[in-house]
Amino acid sequence: MTTTVTCIGTSNHGFAQYAQEEIRRLFPAVAFKLIVPTEIFSFEVPGSWSEVSAALKEQEPIFLRHVQPVQVQWDLTRSDEDIANLKTWLATTGESGFTNPGQFIAVQVRKEEKADVPYAPFTIKAELDTVITSTLQAEPVVKGADRIVSVYISANKLFAGISSPSENLSDWSGGAIRFQKEEDQISRAKFKLLEAEQRFGIDFSYARAALDIGAAPGGWTSLLLERGLRVTAIDPASMHPSLTSNPMLKIYKKNAGDVKLRDNEFDLLVCDMSWSPRQMGRLVADLLYALQSGGTAIITVKLMHKKPFQTIRELIQLFEPSLHLLKAKQLFHNREELTLYLQKL
Ligand SMILES: C[S@@+](CC[C@H](N)C(=O)[O-])C[C@H]1O[C@@H](n2cnc3c(N)ncnc32)[C@H](O)[C@@H]1O
């Protein structure tokens, strides 16, 4: 008898079909069931969770934001019995080797709006935290967990599983990474670069000089300045007044096609132009002489007419002679976009 594993996959709203396409390429025998249209789905594949999650990590699907294993599932009783069942499951599964005493364990509970249950996610978390402390002799945490207990409550069913944060592809519940909005934050776009920094494990301190193409009003520029980089910002639109007198910032209030830079002047290039991918690609390709060999580039790609895989292929072809793709990922803060992380050869 072949073993199979059931997982719950989450993508950005509207992009589940692309995540499913990528998963099908990895596991041709996969069977999908939609949970939340265009966003959340379960899938069943032959193999164990460790095999499946290893394959997903190795060739990480661009549009799969988060994945969790389903080790147990049942029809909702819509009563405290659901919580009691979950506690029994966690105590026995945890004790059978899925967790170890002293580990940091996070409980992440997601509940669909349509799930008409008399308990709130935080009640489930609080109840499971008591099992973690008293039965498993471990420590409940929110961040920095060794293991994550994921609970998903759909309209009719309850699903749960235990995994490590890296197996889930994100240590945030459902991959929905949240940043605190700062009082003086210039744009929400800053979250995209913050997320890329975390998700791709980028240490900006390696870089000294960054080129920001399509920089206004300056959310990305402000983050790079905060990280101690010198920044050259190009945009025909105005940068935020709080930035304009910063001595570490040089501004070209111009179209990127009209700027002349020095060869190898930068070790980081970022571009968040929200423009047609083809035109953006040509503009960036024409400025690549200013990026040093070994320097990196972070570029958002607007998915205008969908067909995302074709768009990515065309852009990579355009950049390929000089840039090598390190990672392509649709981030939580990308809406109709995805983010490319590349390195100059
Ligand atoms: C989404 S906004 C950038 C937001 C910015 N990353 C931030 O964090 O505030 C896109 C910007 O690209 C600029 N842009 C569009 N076409 C451009 C071009 N050809 N050259 C330079 N900038 C361009 C627009 O003026 C706009 O300010």
Q: What are the pLDDT tens digits along the chain (345 aa)?
A: 679 999 999 999 999 999 999 999 999 999 999 999 999 999 999 999 999 999 999 999 999 999 999 999 999 999 999 999 999 999 999 888 888 999 999 999 999 988 999 999 999 999 999 999 999 999 999 999 999 999 999 999 999 999 999 999 999 999 999 999 988 889 999 999 999 999 999 999 889 999 999 999 999 999 999 999 999 999 999 999 999 999 999 999 999 999 999 999 999 999 999 889 999 999 999 999 999 999 999 999 999 777 899 999 999 999 988 999 999 999 999 988 999 999 999
Question: Does residue 205 share a domain with residue 158?
Answer: no
- Give the CATH number for residue 258: 3.40.50.150
Is 272 a pocket residue for ligand 1 (Cβ < 6 Å)? yes
Does a structural domain hold residue 182?
A: no
Does a structural domain hold residue 181?
A: no
Question: Does residue 339 share a domain with residue 299?
Answer: yes
Structure-block tokens of residue 327: 């990672």
Asked if residue 321 has a cis previous peptide bond (ω within 30° of 0), the answer is no
Of 175, 199, 222, which residue constitutes the final position of a domain?
A: 175
Question: Does residue 238 share a domain with residue 324?
Answer: yes
Of 150, 175, 200, which residue constitutes the final position of a domain?
A: 175
Does a structural domain hold residue 185?
A: no
Strand partners, 10: 40, 66
Does a structural domain hold residue 132?
A: yes
Question: Does residue 104 share a domain with residue 145?
Answer: yes
Q: Which atom of ligand 1 is nearest to the CA of 234?
A: 21
Is 73 a pocket residue for ligand 1 (Cβ < 6 Å)? no
Question: Is residue 82 within 8 Å of residue 123, measured between CB atoms?
Answer: no
Question: Does residue 163 share a domain with residue 37?
Answer: yes
Question: Quick one: how far is CA 24 from the chain centroid?
Answer: 20
Q: Which atom of ligand 1 is nearest to the CA of 272?
A: 6
Is 235 a pocket residue for ligand 1 (Cβ < 6 Å)? yes
User: Phi-psi bin for 26: left (phi > 0), alpha (psi -120 to 50), beta?
Assistant: alpha
Is 259 a pocket residue for ligand 1 (Cβ < 6 Å)? no
Question: Does residue 340 share a domain with residue 230?
Answer: yes
Is 309 a pocket residue for ligand 1 (Cβ < 6 Å)? no
Task: State the Cα–Cα distance between residues 13 and 15, nearest whole angstrom.
Answer: 6
Look up the domain containing 19 and give its range: 4-175
Q: Which atom of ligand 1 is nearest to the CA of 255?
A: 20
Is 218 a pocket residue for ligand 1 (Cβ < 6 Å)? yes
Question: Is residue 297 within 8 Å of residue 344, measured between CB atoms?
Answer: yes
Number of domains making up the chain: 2
Question: Does residue 149 share a domain with residue 258?
Answer: no
Strand partners, 42: 8, 33
Question: Does residue 330 share a domain with residue 214?
Answer: yes
Question: Does residue 171 share a domain with residue 209?
Answer: no
Euclidean distance between the first and the last CA atom of the chain, given in angstroms as a whole number? 48
Does a structural domain hold residue 320?
A: yes
Question: Does residue 325 share a domain with residue 230?
Answer: yes
Ligand 1 binding pocket mutation candidate from 274, 284, 335 (most atoms within 8 A of CB): 274
Of 175, 204, 234, which residue constitutes the final position of a domain?
A: 175
Question: Quick one: how far is CA 17 from the chain centroid?
Answer: 17
Question: Which residues are CB-contacts of 201 (< 8 A; sequence separation ≥ 6)?
Answer: none
Does a structural domain hold residue 238?
A: yes
Question: Is residue 277 within 8 Å of residue 315, measured between CB atoms?
Answer: yes
Query: Among candidates 159, 148, 86, which has minimal Cα distance to 123?
Result: 86
Does a structural domain hold residue 184?
A: no
Question: Does residue 259 share a domain with residue 130?
Answer: no
Task: Tell me, in angstroms, the distance from the centre of ligand 1 to residue 272's CA.
Answer: 6
Question: Is residue 137 within 8 Å of residue 101, measured between CB atoms?
Answer: yes
Question: Does residue 269 share a domain with residue 166?
Answer: no
Ligand 1 binding pocket mutation candidate from 273, 274, 287 (most atoms within 8 A of CB): 273
Task: Tell me, in angstroms, the distance from the centre of ligand 1 to residue 234's CA.
Answer: 8
Does a structural domain hold residue 98?
A: yes
